Chains A and B, each alone.
Chain A
Amino acid sequence: MAFVEQLIANLLYGAILGAVYGLATMGLSLIFGVLRIVNVGHGAFIMIGAFTAYWMFTLYGISPVLSLPLAMAAGMIIGVAVYLVVVKRLVDAPELATLLAMFAIGIFIEEAAKQIWGANYVGYSWEIGSISLPFTEIPYTKLVAFISSILIAAAVYVWFRKTKLGKAVRAVVEDREGALTCGIDVNKIYALSFSLGIGLTVLSGVLVTLFTPVGINAYMGGEYTLKAFVIAVLGGLASPWGAFYAGFIFGLIENGSYTLLGLIPGVEPFGLTRFVSFVVLMLVLLLKPTGLLGGE
């Protein structure tokens, strides 16, 4: 029963990876939920996080876990800058304008990264051993990524539920005009949510590197943009929690289908898995555009 064991191992791996996917999508859903802006340059910010982890590790030997707060801070600063320079002027503009602007920002970041860091794939290896299960072996680095993702998502959840600012953000999501009349500075909440969303995205880029040992490159984000959109739509697009749960589902679908596609002779399962992501996206849009976990 080698195949079944392999499937179980891959599904387990999919669940672990899914937690990171979920975290990597929360920022996207947060920004859409609050500002109604679709960050089509999402992947570029993940790439910044990945490079943060890479440089911290190779230059100073700092472990990726310790890079997390740094990446979060860097992402929030970038987020505020992007908000003030571009997004602020487009909040009430037609959808076309914001979509194109976010797209252009993503491309600009990628091209700038290519000029600064080169076009080659780089990577690092952080060896801290692995845990042996009956049918597979899981490196501790991936468990660290799994646990960090869950803890960070939980921290964001608590922040949203318990703090005054978090409640203000939820109020703006609920009803912008209503929040305004209650004395909430909506512009500040926009800036905060945008920078928080970008911060979370950059932070998740650090964890992504624990799964792609040699896959850090200026254009690595494109793949995650597509995945993040599939996950965000699965989770209802406007809900960060929906996105986090949908990340698990997507991790399972992706790794399950990879195993199954490997059974078909003459195809290249890795490439086809990406096609499967696209098919899943189209199916969700066709059958349940409000997301698997209910309405917005």
Chain B
Amino acid sequence: MKSYSPLITLLLAYLIMIAIGQSIPGMWQPVMLVIFYIAIGQALNVFLGMTGYVNFGYVALLGVGAYGMGVALGYYNELGLIPTLILGFILAAILALLVSAIVGGIALRLRGAYFAIATIGVNEGIKYLIMGAKIWGGSEGIVLSGILRKSFGAETMRFLSTTFADAGVIVVAIATGVVTAYILNSRLGYALIALREDEEAAKVMGINVTKYKQIAFMISCVLAGLIGATAWTLKLTYVFPQDVFAINYTVEAIVIVMLGGAGTLLGPLVGGLIYALLKYYLAIAFPGLQLLILAPLLIVVILLFPEGVVGYIAKKARGTRLENFVR
């Protein structure tokens, strides 16, 4: 059942969104918000959607990714612009890889509930380590705007925090989609789906479930780290521990995955689109009430549409010509 056709749908959707954002004035900001939410949904989906395991510490990976880029730009900017940026991406990926290797290595040997419990502490644990031990500025965080202006000039800084950051988010978003499509068509994907449906049976069939769970977890976490590096550090030019470890992003990513359809390629796209537009216009109508609206929405989705929008459509499309483009 090798099929990359749904990827066409995904790339087309990105193209249309970028075209809308570029041509209609005032639409670029909501379009970037949508793409950011699709990306965080997509990266979480690689793990949560495919294994059925919940990562309650998801935002911590975006956070350490943001710190990776922040540390490179803040402390190693004498290397020159491009080496510093490369270092930033590498540090973001390595920090995310490190956290996911440790947490996953310990907790993924255990079954779902224990893993979920272990991840609950990740976010708070890392946040308080940084604040308590006063690492990288502690509670004050890293403020980059002054440093960047001094080392690279105001013009470059503006370019970095606008065009470059947006392009970075788009590239990472597309990359998460491509990675998801690749996994769905690979041995890894088949193993993950098998273990999601029945972990015992998968084990008996000779699948090394711990290994595959760990790989999926680390991929998901590194992608999240790269999103944090581009969408937060580059775009906002600061890293504050209270902001980058804010639990609402974990909730938002979970809502997007569940709404769109866990384990599907297009789920996060649909979920992110619905969610981000809802959020953008609800935030204007009901400021500060997003989580109050979101939490019951998540419960309703779990109770009534456990397979999500894309899961539902894919079921309906089975046997029709559209089948190959919805997944």
Q: Please indicate which of the listed interface residues A93, A101, A267, A285 has the most CB atoms of chain B within 10 Å of its own CB.
A: A285
Number of interface residues of A (CB under 8 A): 51
Bound: A16/B121 CA distance, A = 24
The answer on a CB contact under 8 Å between B103 and A282 is: yes
Among the 9-residue stretches B106-114, B141-149, B264-272, the one with 4 or more Cβ atoms under 8 Å from chain A is B106-114
From A40, A94, A110, contact of B52 by CB (8 A): A94
Chain A positions 273 through 296: 1 when the CB is less than 8 Å from some CB of chain B, otherwise 0: 111011101100110010000000
Q: Are B291 and A111 in contact (CB under 8 A)?
A: yes
- Report B245-267 residues with CB < 8 Å from chain A CB: 247, 251, 254, 258, 262
Task: Report the separation of the CA atoms of residues A270 and B139 in the bound assembly, to the nearest whole angstrom.
Answer: 13
Which residues of the partner chain A approach B114 to less than 8 Å between Cβ atoms?
233, 237, 285, 289
CB nearest neighbor in B for A223: B124
Q: List the A residue with the shortest CB-CB distance to B107.
A: A285
Contacts of B56 in A (CB 8 A): 40, 103
B106 contacts A286, CB within 8 Å?
yes
| Contacting residues, chain B, for A260 (C-beta < 8 A) | none
| Bound: A115/B52 CA distance, A | 33
Digitize A224-268: 1 where CB-to-B-CB distance is under 8 Å, 0 elsewhere: 011001101100010000000000000000000000000000111
B124 adjacent to A226 (CB under 8 Å):
yes
In the complex, the answer to whether A108 meets B128 with C-beta atoms within 8 Å is: no
Asked whether A96 lies within 8 Å of B54 as measured between CB atoms, the reply is: yes
Q: Which residues of A contact B258 (CB under 8 A)?
A: 100
Docked Cα-Cα span, A157 to B259, in Å, equals 42
Which residue, of A105, A267, A275, has the highest number of chain B Cβ atoms within 10 A? A275
B94-139 residues at the A interface, CB under 8 angstroms: 102-103, 106-107, 110, 112-114, 116-118, 120-122, 124-126, 128-129, 131-134, 138
Residues of A within 8 A of B (CB): 32, 36, 38, 40, 86, 89-90, 93-97, 99-101, 103-105, 107-108, 110-112, 115, 222-223, 225-226, 229-230, 232-233, 237, 266-275, 277-279, 281-282, 285-286, 289
Task: List 14 interface pairs A-B (beta carbons < 8 Å), by A numbering.
Answer: A95-B52, A96-B48, A100-B54, A107-B251, A111-B295, A222-B247, A225-B120, A268-B132, A268-B133, A275-B126, A275-B128, A278-B125, A285-B118, A286-B106
Q: A38-B117, A95-B52, A108-B296 are in contact. List 11 more A-B contacts (CB 8 A).
A: A36-B113, A96-B53, A104-B296, A222-B247, A225-B120, A237-B113, A267-B132, A267-B133, A267-B134, A272-B128, A285-B110
User: Closest 8 A-B residue pairs measured CB to CB?
Assistant: A271-B132, A278-B125, A272-B132, A108-B295, A111-B292, A278-B121, A274-B128, A104-B298
